[in-house]
Structure 1
Amino acid sequence: MLEEWGINKKDLVCITTDNATNMIKAFEAFPDLWLGCFGHNLNLAISKALKNQRVDTAVKACRHLIQGFKDPRRELREKLAALNMPQKALIHDVVTRWGSAHKMLERFLSQQQPVCATLAGERGTWHLMPKDANVSVMEQLCQLLEPLSKFTDALASETRVTLSAIKPVLDHITRDVLVERDTEPSLTREMKRIMREDPNNRYTEKAE
């Protein structure tokens, strides 16, 4: 690979890949420093938090709504127009990408009022509406994921060298963004703990 790209081995500072077993195996005997992709590691940490039963139930409830919302789409557009809201369709997520789940929940929450009005006016569709407890979880999750989505977009870039950004960004995420506060719901604190511990565990040994 180095020969193909004409890279002088003396110029190498670090090699980074995802955390696939074959990648780790390929570089374990390599003399240069190997670091797992920070964007990938952050994605893994968030994915772990999304496996929480309450969170998983809420995400599935939103997914179920959107899957069953095909027929009342015209009515939803009318409700959006009546409320002077942008004509934006509900978004379906991609199960393997937490960012798409965030966008799905965010779009639903922004259109919750017209969606609710649409389902109330359609016979046999009200069962699609997520329960209040699920909506509360969605709101907590979106509030937590919003700042993290920006870091993922920036640090998963293939056009920038971001090695020097890992330490300050990791510190900011773990000490500021994901710090647990007594005033927060227990679910939010639990998700923060999971998201905070996973990246720290992956980078502590390398830093030492």
Structure 2
Amino acid sequence: MEPYMSLTVHFILATDFTMKSKCLQTAFSPDDHKGEILAQGLKGALASWSLEEEKMACITTDNGSNIVKAISINNWTRLQCFGHRLHLAIENAMKDPRIDHVTGLCRKIVSTFSHSWLRRRNLAMVQKELKLPEHQLKTECPTRWGSRQEMIQRILEQLPAISQVLNDRKVRHLVPTWQDIEVLEAMNNTLSPLAEFTDALSGELYVSISSVKPVLHLFKTSVLAVQEDDTEFTKSIKSNTLKYLQEKYSDPHTQDLLDMATTLDPRFKMNYIHEEKKATVRARLTDEMTGITLATVR
């Protein structure tokens, strides 16, 4: 319960272009964590490591109002963590009493098996009888939407065995109804394709920023695109998730950063840059590369 602030630097070696991540410091910060104090602390941290602010492409933080204010005070470009943004987008889209009910039901099912050796044994026996994968149930971590997805996916996978084991009078009320199953299947079908993107865009040993715009484009045109046969419930989850992400990445400074990174990636180049912005991006890239060349010659 003591306040600390960590600073990690990500950089590319000029010799072989490998990406590195180093935790520079984890410093005790007893002062109030106000935006102004955090701003000074971050500046001091960079200075103590002889790092020049001008060479910093951007900084990634959580969404605390104090740290967001600190970055604004320092006039630094802040890039939101994609994995965290996706988590918040999905949490925002999940604000529905039907979802609250079925996720609560899933947690109760997992709990009733985790606290009973007898039920776990019976589940394993029924799994063999029904030729189901001999998997244990999974619980969720509130700060990771993917863990909820895994919990739901496992419940659906093991539903025949769960229903058979929970067939006695004391726990029969925990067996999902057909309405519950419809909601769970809609959640699973909508969100399972998103799971791989969280880990893929949260790597430290490879560049991921250049994939943000292409991924958002893929969400809009394919993964979260509303289909004719989607239920109204599914449409709501898709549209709310996509709307949240688009709003959070609409900031002009963020868009400029993403445009530059995407253009420099040979897989994407300018395929995801708006036509009216391409000339500006080319001019900025030319200026920056010229500056690097002149600095090298000198």
What's the TM-score once normalised by structure 2's chain length?
0.65
Amino acid corresponding to residue 140 of structure 2 in structure 1: D
Q: Answer yes or no: is the 8 Å Cα contact 2:90–2:241 preserved in 1.
A: yes
**Cross-structure match for 1:114:** 161
Q: Distance in 2 between matches of 1:179 and 1:5?
A: 46
The 3 A distance-change label for structure 1 pair 4 and 40 is: farther
Residue 153 of structure 1 and its aligned partner are, at CA, apart by 1.2
Q: Does residue 96 of structure 2 align to residue 52 of structure 1? A: yes
The 3 A distance-change label for structure 1 pair 4 and 39 is: farther
What stretches of structure 2 of length at least 5 have no aligned partner?
1-44, 257-298
Q: Distance in 2 between matches of 1:205 and 1:123?
A: 55
Provide the secondary structure at the position in 2 that maps to 1:33: coil
Task: Decide which of 60, 68, 83 is 1:16's aligned counterpart.
Answer: 60
**Cross-structure match for 1:156:** 202
Residue 6 of structure 1 and its aligned partner are, at CA, apart by 4.8
Residue 186 of structure 1 and its aligned partner are, at CA, apart by 0.4
Q: Deviations over 1:98-143 (max 9, x none)?
A: 11111111011001111111122x3422111121111111111011
What stretches of structure 1 of length at least 5 have no aligned partner?
none
Q: Deviations over 1:33-71 (max 9, x none)?
A: 222112111110001112211111111111122222333
Residue 167 of structure 1 and its aligned partner are, at CA, apart by 1.1
**Cross-structure match for 2:179:** 133
Q: Aligned residues, how many?
A: 207
Identity of aligned residues (%): 33
Amino acid corresponding to residue 229 of structure 2 in structure 1: T
Q: Answer yes or no: is the 8 Å Cα contact 1:19–1:37 preserved in 2.
A: no
Q: Does residue 212 of structure 2 align to residue 166 of structure 1? A: yes
Q: Does residue 128 of structure 2 align to residue 84 of structure 1? A: no
Provide the secondary structure at the position in 2 that maps to 1:15: coil
If each structure's helix is expressed as a fraction of its own residues, which one has the higher value? 1
Residue 5 of structure 1 and its aligned partner are, at CA, apart by 4.8
Q: Distance in 1 between matches of 2:77 and 2:70?
A: 13
Residue 183 of structure 1 and its aligned partner are, at CA, apart by 1.2
What's the TM-score once normalised by structure 1's chain length?
0.91
Q: Does residue 51 of structure 2 align to residue 7 of structure 1? A: yes
**Cross-structure match for 1:103:** 150
**Cross-structure match for 1:201:** 247
Amino acid corresponding to residue 202 of structure 1 in structure 2: K
TM-align CA RMSD: 1.8
Higher relative contact order (CA 8 A, sep 6+): 1
